[in-house]
Amino acid sequence: MQRIPLIIATGLLALVGSAHGSSFIGTTDAIGGSLVNTIDATSDATSGNNKVVLEAREDAASFVGSDGHLRSARLEAALLHIRQSNPELEATDMQLAEAILAL
């Protein structure tokens, strides 16, 4: 996986955090960093379960746009994968969906 998209994703996560207020910047950065590490854990981001997260981007957009009312099987699978890969991560579904969008 190329590093430039990861750098862009990190920058976008910082913007998302600032849009929600300064108290969320650290949380959003931590979530984004952990999510990026989850996807970056392998050299091919489209292999295995990482594909689940990347394929959920469109569904994450629907979830965020509907203020959490539209949920899909793909988004649920991605959220489950993220939480299983990072059990120490404390994040809401909305924060994770926003992080998925920033990838």
Torsion of CA 41, 42, 47, 49, to 10 degrees: -20
> What is the DSSP code (8-state) at residue 44?
-
Spell out a b/e string for 78-96, using b for 16 or more CB atoms within 10 Å of the CB, else e. bbebbeebbeebebebebb
Of 21-25, 37-41, 97-101, the one with minimum mean pLDDT is 21-25
- Asked if 74 and 55 touch (Cβ cutoff 8 Å), the reply is yes
pLDDT tens sequence across 4-18: 455 555 555 555 544
CA-to-CA distance for 31 and 39, rounded, in angstroms?
12
Evaluate if residue 19 carries a pLDDT over 60: no
pLDDT at 63: 97
pLDDT tens sequence across 35-81: 666 555 433 333 456 889 989 999 999 999 999 999 999 999 999 99
